[in-house]
Amino acid sequence: MAIGRSARFFKGLSATFGRDADRATEAQAAKDSFYYWWWAFLAESMEYRRAVSGRNEEPYASMAADFGRLGSNFEAWWIERGREIFAEPVAIPRVRKLEHGEVTNYEGVNPKLNIEIPLTIRRQTILRHVNKLLDQHHAGSDLRVHAYSRAKRRLYPDQRIRKATLETLMKVWQARKAKPDAPWWEIGEQLRLSPYHTVTETDDAATIANKHRIMALTVQRMHRKAKAIIEFAAKGEFPRYK
C-alpha cells in the first residue's frame, strides 16, 4: 500500500501521522525517537557543516542534500526535511485477518508467515502453537527492525545503543566542548557519571588520585564514542560507533 497524502509511517514511531493538524504531534513524537538524536549528533559534525556550505565530498554532499540546514529547532527541521526522508513508502506491516481467497504478497522486504488458526480449540492452545511457530520462524531479539525500512534515509540496522546512552554521550560531548581545558574527571563529576568514583570529603590523597584517574578514563572513553557516532552520522549511518 503506497503512502497517500493522509498518512505517514515511520519506523520506531508507534503512531501514524498525516494531516497538517497532526504536524506538531508528529514532530514531538519524532523528538522522542532516534531521529532526533541523528539530527543532534549530525549538528556536531564539522564535515557535515562543510558539505552544507557547498563542499562536494561524498558521502557528505548527498547527506547535506537530504538533511539540509539543520538549524536549532528540531521540530521545524522535522516538518521541513525529516518527515520526508524518514517516511516509509509503504505502510508498516501489521498482523491482520486475511479475507477469504486473498493472496498474500510475499515480497522479500516484509517476509510473512501464513498460519491457519482453528477457532474450535482453546485460546491457550492456539497461543502455545503460535508461539512455537514463531520460535521456529521469527528472529526474536536478533531481529533488526530498521533493516526492513524502505525510507530514503534509515537508521543503522545493527544499532545496539539506547536513547538514554545517546543522551549521556551528547552531554559529555557538549561539556567537553564548553570547557576544552577542564580535567576529564571534572566533567565526569559535573555530569555525575559515576557516583562511586566521585571524590568525597573523607577520601585521602591516594583515593582521590585513583578516583580522578578512573573517572577521567570513563569520560574519555565516552567522548571517543560520541565522536565516532558524530562521524558515522555525517556519513549516513546512525546510531553507529564502530
Residue 222 · residue 168 · CB < 8 Å: yes
Q: What is the mean pLDDT of residues 157-161?
A: 82
Residue 1, pLDDT > 50, answer: no
> Does 240 or 96 have the greater pLDDT score?
240
CB atoms within 10 A of CB 59: 13
* Burial zone of 156 (CB within 10 Å; 0-12 exposed, 13-18 middle, 19+ buried): buried
Choose the weakest-confidence range: 75-89, 168-182, 213-227: 75-89
Q: What is the mean pLDDT of residues 17-37?
A: 82
pLDDT in tens, 133-145: 777 766 666 545 5
Confidence of residue 149 (pLDDT cuts 50, 70, 90): low
Assigned C-alpha cell, 76? 521545524
- The proportion of the chain whose per-residue pLDDT surpasses 90, expressed as a percent, equals 54
Q: What is the mean pLDDT of residues 98-103?
A: 67
Helix, strand, or coil (residue 59): coil
Residue 220, pLDDT > 90, answer: yes
The per-residue pLDDT for 34 is 95
The per-residue pLDDT for 237 is 95
Residue 150, pLDDT > 60, answer: yes
Confidence of residue 151 (pLDDT cuts 50, 70, 90): confident
Dihedral Cα 127, 131, 137, 141, nearest 10 deg: 130
The per-residue pLDDT for 124 is 86
CB atoms within 10 A of CB 169: 24
Question: Which range, 116-130, 170-184, 190-204, is most confident?
Answer: 170-184
Question: Which range, 19-28, 53-62, 134-143, 208-217, is most confident?
Answer: 208-217
Confidence of residue 233 (pLDDT cuts 50, 70, 90): very high
Residue 73, pLDDT > 70, answer: yes
Residue 45 · residue 231 · CB < 8 Å: yes
